């Protein structure tokens, strides 16, 4: 995938996995289809009160496709439920100042979404609801209203893995492992 367009949702620093998917929902098993969708409906439901709802009540998916955040996004637990909840809600990419290691790795392994580092502090440049276009091939995030371009750091090899749909799909595509059940 090269271009992602849609509304952005803006967050600050240290958004941890309990805010992305509160522990009370962890009984949901992501590999079971109905529970995967349910995880999406709870995406970012752990945010403090006062912020606009990320997923509208009664909906399983979010109107926001890109998250713009500060430093250390996804810190805390190793739960893969976190990138999965965001992906299931329809998020395609998180653009952040930096990522916590396990969250970053889980994004790539699952192929759920692109974790992209920004250069400037973009959570101060965007407001929730802004329309934006993310061009991964050019490593820029463009604000639709003004045309402003913000530089992003290249994802490197990780992009290929996410493009393929995660580490297993990538490993098969490149011949590293055989097809399931083969």
Partner 1 sequence: MTEKILAQHAGKAAVRPGDNVWVRVDILMTHDVCGPGTVGVFEREFGKDAKVFDREKLVVIPDHYIYTVDKMCQRNVAIMREFCQRHNVKYFYDPDTTAYKGVCHIALAQEGHTRPGEVLLGTDSHTCTAGAFGEFATGIGNTDAGFVLGTGKILLKVPETMRFVIEGELPPYLMAKDLILRIIGDIGVDGATYCAMEFAGSCIESLSMEERMTLCNMAIEAGGKNGIIPVDRVTREYVKARTNKPFIEVTSDPGARFKSVANYNAAELAPAVARPHSPDNYAPAAACGDVKLDRAYIGSCTGGKLSDFIAAAKVLLGRKVSIDTYLVPATREVEQGLHATKLDGRTLAQVFADAGCLPVAPPSCAACLGGPVDTVGRANGAEVVISTTNRNFPGRMGSKEASVYLASPYTVAASAIRGTITDPREFM
Asked if 139 interacts with partner 1 (CB under 8 A), we say no
Burial of 123 (0-12, 13-18, 19+ CB in 10 A): buried
Helices (H), 49-166: 81-88, 101-110, 157-164
Q: How far is the CB of 180 from partner 1 (least distance, A)?
A: 5
Asked if 164 interacts with partner 1 (CB under 8 A), we say no
Q: How far is the CB of 21 from partner 1 (least distance, A)?
A: 11
Q: Determine the Cα–Cα distance for residues 147 and 170; give it in Å rounded to an integer.
A: 34
Asked if 105 interacts with partner 1 (CB under 8 A), we say yes
Asked if 116 interacts with partner 1 (CB under 8 A), we say no
In this structure, what is the dihedral angle of CA atoms 55, 30, 131, 126, given to the nearest 10 degrees? Answer: 90
Stretch 75-104: interaction string toward partner 1, x if CB under 8 A: xxxxxxx-x--------------x-xxx--
Tell how strand 64-69 and strand 93-96 pair up.
parallel
Residues that bind partner 1 (CB under 8 A): 14, 16, 18-19, 22-24, 26-32, 46-49, 71-72, 75-81, 83, 98, 100-102, 105-106, 109-110, 166-168, 177, 180-181
């Amino acid at each position: 995938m090269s271009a992602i367009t849609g509304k952005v949702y803006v967050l600050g620093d240290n958004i941890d996995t309990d805010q992305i998917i509160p522990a009370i929902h962890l009984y949901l098993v992501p590999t079971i289809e109905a529970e995967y969708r349910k995880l999406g409906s709870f995406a970012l439901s752990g945010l403090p009160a006062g912020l606009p709802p990320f997923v509208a009540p009664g909906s399983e998916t979010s109107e926001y496709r890109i998250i713009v955040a500060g430093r250390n996004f996804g810190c805390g637990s190793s739960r893969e439920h976190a990138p999965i909840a965001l992906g299931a809600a329809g998020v395609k990419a998180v653009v952040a100042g930096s990522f916590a290691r396990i969250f970053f790795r889980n994004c790539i392994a699952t192929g759920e979404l692109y974790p992209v580092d920004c250069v400037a502090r973009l959570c101060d440049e965007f407001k929730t609801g802004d329309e934006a276009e993310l061009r991964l091939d050019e490593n820029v995030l463009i604000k639709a209203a003004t045309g402003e371009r913000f530089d992003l750091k290249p994802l490197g090899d990780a992009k290929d893995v996410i493009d393929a749909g995660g580490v297993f799909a990538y490993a098969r595509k490149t011949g590293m492992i055989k097809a399931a059940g083969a």
